[in-house]
Structure 1
Amino acid sequence: MFFVMFLKSETKEVPTFQKISFQEACERTHELEREYRQQEKIASIDFHVLNEENQELYAGTYQLGSHFAMNLLDHIKKQLSQMNLKPQQEAIKQSFLKKLYNEVPYRLHPEAIEFPEKEEAESTLTSGTPSKGGYISKLSHLHQKMIYGGSALSVLLLSIGCWTTVSASQQQSEKITQLEHQVKEKKDLTSLYEKAILGDTEKAIQQLSKEKGNKDLQVNQDVYMSLLLEEKEYKEAVKVGGEQKVEDRLLEKGDVQSLKTFLESFPSSTGTFDVAYLEQRWEDVLSQKGVRMTEKRQRMKGYALLRTGKVEEAKKQVNHLQDERIHQKIKQYEQVQKEIKDLQKQIEEEQQKDPKNESKIQSLTEEKQKKERTLNSI
C-alpha cells in the first residue's frame, strides 16, 4: 500500500505533514483540480509518495488548476513519461506506475475521466467530501514529526478495530481480550503523545524510557527518539534509534546547529556532507568521501553538482531518481545557461561593430546579468 504526505502547500485544503493513503490523495487532488479550474486559480503543493515502511518512492510538486493533470496519479504518470530512462529503469518505472494504478479505483484513472473546461459544481465525476479548510495543519514541528514517525499507530488501531469485529463475530473471546489489551496500550501511548505535544516532553520521555525495551511498540521507539532530539539529548537518542537514524532525522529537520552539535560526539563524513549542503558550501559537499548515500543525499549531491556548473555529472547522478523537481531544475539550469551564452555572443558581436550601438550593448548586458541572477537562484 502507498501513502502520500503533502508538505509545503499554497492551499489550505490539503492535510500537510499527515500521511494519507494514495487513493485519498488522488480523491482530494481530483476534486480540487476541478474546483481550481472552475475558479481559474493555481496553487502549488509539494508531495512525497511513501511505502508502508515510510520509504520515499517519489517526490514532486503538483500544480492545482494548471490543466496539466486531473489528479495526483495523472500528474505522476505524465511526469514519468517525460523521463528518458534505460531499459532496466523503464521496467522499474512501469512497475511503479502499475502499482499506483492498483491503489485507486478505475474512475480515477486518467484514461477513465475527462474534465470539461466549464464543469458544473455538482459534477459526479469525483467523489468524497469537499474540503472546507478542516484539514489545515496547525501542528508544531514536533507534532508533525510525531505524526510522520507514528503514523503506524493509527493504522494499527484501525486494524485492531477490524480484527475485534471479526473476532466477536466468531466468538473468539481469548483473541478479543488480547486485542483489547493492545488497544489499551495504544491509548496510553496516545495520552503520552498528547502530553508531549502540549509541551510536557520531560514526563513523556521518562515514561517512554521505561517502555523502550518493549519490542511490540516500535512506534513508541520512533516517538521517543523524536522527543530526545527535541531536547538535544543526542547520545540517548542514538541508543534508541542508532547513529544513522538520528543522523537522517537531523538532516530531515534541516537544523544546521543541531547537526554540528551531533557531529561533535558522532563525527562522520555523512554528517559533514549534510552540514556542508545546508550551508550551501557546494565544493565541500562534493569533496566528501565515504558518504552514506540515501536517495535524499543523491539528490543533494546532484544539486551540488548543478550549482558548480557540472550539469552532465548532475544528470548522471540523479538520472535513476523518480524526483521531478531535481530533473526540472537541471532542465531550467541548462536553458538559462544557454540563454546567457547567446547573450554573451550577441554582446561580443555588437562590440565588434563600428560604430558600436552602446545602448543595445547596455541592454544586452543588463539582460545577461538578470539571467545570471536567475541561474544562481535555481
Structure 2
Amino acid sequence: MFYVMFLKSETKEVPTFQKISFQEACEKTHELEHQYRQQGKRASIDFHVLNEENQELYAGTYQVGSHFAINLLDHIKKQLSQMKINPKQEAIKQSFLKKLYHEVPYSLHPEAMKFPERDESILTPGTFSKEGYTSKLSHFHRKMIYGGSVLSVLLLSIGCWTTVSASQQQSDEVVQLQQKLKEEEKLTKLYETALLGDTENAIEHLSKEKGNKGSQVNQDVYMSLLLEEKKYKEVVKVGGEKKVEDRLLEKGDVQSLKTFQESFPSSTGTFDVAYLEQRWEDVLSQKDVRMTEKRQRMKGYALLRTGKVEEAKKQVNHLQDERIHQKIKQYEQVQQEIKDLQKRIEEEQQKDPKDEAKIQSLTEEKQKKEKALNGI
C-alpha cells in the first residue's frame, strides 16, 4: 500500500504533514482540480509518495488548477513519461505506475477522464461512493503527526475484532484475540495521550509496555515521542543510529542534528548538517556517507549549486523526483541566458561609439538572472 504526505502547500484544503492513503490523496486532488478549474484558481503543493516502511518512492510538486493533470495519479504518470531513462529504469517506472493504478478505483484513472459531478460523485469524507467508503478522519486523526501509526493500531484493532467474530467456535483463539484487542485499545489511548501533549507520561507508559512480552508497541510512534523530547540516547536504543539520523533529516532541524552529532558523530550526520546550512562544498567533501535516495538528491542539488551541472544530472538520473530534474533544467536555462547576456554586453562594449544605456540595461538584466540562478 502506498501513502502520500503533502508538505509545503499554497492551499489549506489539503492535510499537510499527515500520512494519508494514495487513494485519499487522489480523491482530494481530483476534487480540488475540478473546483480550482471552475474558479480559475491555482495552487502549488509539494508531496512525497511513501511505502509502508515510510521509504520515499517519489517526490514532486502538484499544480492544482493548472489543467496539467486531473489528479495526483495523472500528474505522476505525465511527469514520469517526460523523463529520459534507460530500459532498466523504464521497467522500474512501469512497475511503479502499475502499483499506483492498483491503489485507486477506475474512476480516478487518467483514462477515465471524467470529473465527479457536484450532486452525487464528489467523494466527501464520511460518504459512500460506487468504489467504496471514504473514511471521515476524527479530530484526533487529523492531529496525527507520527506517520499514521495510531490509525494503523486502530485498523489492527478492528481487524482483530472481525477475526474474533468469525471464530466464535474456537474458544481459545477467541480469548487470545480478545486479549490482543484490549492491548491495542490500551495502546491507542496512550498514543492519544501523546498527541494531546502529555508526551512524558506517554513515553513512560510505552517504555513499560515495550518491556512486556508480546507487547505491540509501535516503534515509529515511540521513536517520534523520544525525538520530541530530544532523548537521543534512548531513541538510539530503540531504532539505532541510522534510523534516528534519517528521522532528524526528515524533520530538517539543524540544531537537533548538531546536538545528535555531539553524542553520535558520523560523516552522514555532517553531510546532513552541511546541506541544511547550504554549505555546498562541505556537502561534496564528505566521504563514506550513507546514501539514501533523499541524500542522493541532496548531493545532486549541491553539485548543481556549485555549477557542476553534468555531474548533477548523473547523480539524480535514476531518481523518480520531478523537482530535482526541473531544477536542473531551470538552472541550465538561466545559466545559458546569463552567458548570452554576457556575450551581448561584450559586443556592445566593443562598439564605437558605445551605447552606455544599453550596456547598463543588459548588465542589470544579467544581475537579475544571476540572482535567480542563486535562488534555484
User: Taking structure 2 as the reference length, what is the TM-score of the superposition?
Assistant: 0.91
Contact 2:154 2:188 survives alignment (8 Å): no
Q: Does 1:347 align with 2:349?
A: no
> Who is 2:28 aligned against?
28
Contact 2:144 2:150 survives alignment (8 Å): no
| 1:299-348 per-position Cα deviation (integer Å, ceiling 9, x unaligned) | 11011011101111111111111111111111111111111111111111
> Who is 2:130 aligned against?
none
Which consecutive unaligned segments of at least 5 residues does structure 2 have?
127-135
| 1:140-193 per-position Cα deviation (integer Å, ceiling 9, x unaligned) | 9xx65424455532442343344344335xx44433332222222122112222
Cα distance change on mapping 1:217 and 1:93 into 2, 3 Å:
farther
Cα distance change on mapping 1:190 and 1:328 into 2, 3 Å:
same
**1:108 maps to amino acid:** L
Cα distance change on mapping 1:193 and 1:250 into 2, 3 Å:
same
Cα distance change on mapping 1:120 and 1:52 into 2, 3 Å:
closer
**1:44 maps to amino acid:** S
Alignment partners' CA distance in 2, 1:372 and 1:162: 62
Contact 1:80 1:93 survives alignment (8 Å): yes
More displaced 10-residue stretch of structure 1: 183-192 or 316-325 = 183-192
**Among candidates 242, 245, 248, match of residue 246 of structure 2:** 248
Cα distance change on mapping 1:307 and 1:151 into 2, 3 Å:
farther
Deviation at 1:106, TM superposition (A): 1.7
Cα distance change on mapping 1:183 and 1:7 into 2, 3 Å:
farther
> Who is 1:208 aligned against?
206
**1:21 maps to amino acid:** S
> Who is 1:153 aligned against?
153
Alignment partners' CA distance in 1, 2:137 and 2:338: 44
| 1:77-121 per-position Cα deviation (integer Å, ceiling 9, x unaligned) | 000000000110011001111111122222221112145xxx974
Contact 1:42 1:64 survives alignment (8 Å): yes
> Who is 1:112 aligned against?
112
> Who is 1:58 aligned against?
58
**Among candidates 260, 277, 281, match of residue 279 of structure 1:** 277
What SS does the aligned partner of 1:229 have?
Answer: helix
Alignment partners' CA distance in 1, 2:354 and 2:140: 60
> Who is 1:197 aligned against?
195
More displaced 10-residue stretch of structure 1: 4-13 or 234-243 = 4-13
**Among candidates 357, 366, 369, match of residue 367 of structure 2:** 369
Contact 1:12 1:136 survives alignment (8 Å): no
**1:82 maps to amino acid:** Q
Q: Matched residues, percent identical? A: 77
Which consecutive unaligned segments of at least 5 residues does structure 1 have?
none
More displaced 10-residue stretch of structure 1: 151-160 or 296-305 = 151-160
Alignment partners' CA distance in 2, 1:163 and 1:6: 34
> Who is 2:17 aligned against?
17
**2:299 maps to amino acid:** K
Contact 2:150 2:191 survives alignment (8 Å): no
Q: How does 1:89-104 map to 2 (within 5 A)?
A: 89-104=89-104
More displaced 10-residue stretch of structure 1: 173-182 or 31-40 = 173-182
Q: How many equivalent pairs are there?
A: 367
> Who is 1:331 aligned against?
329
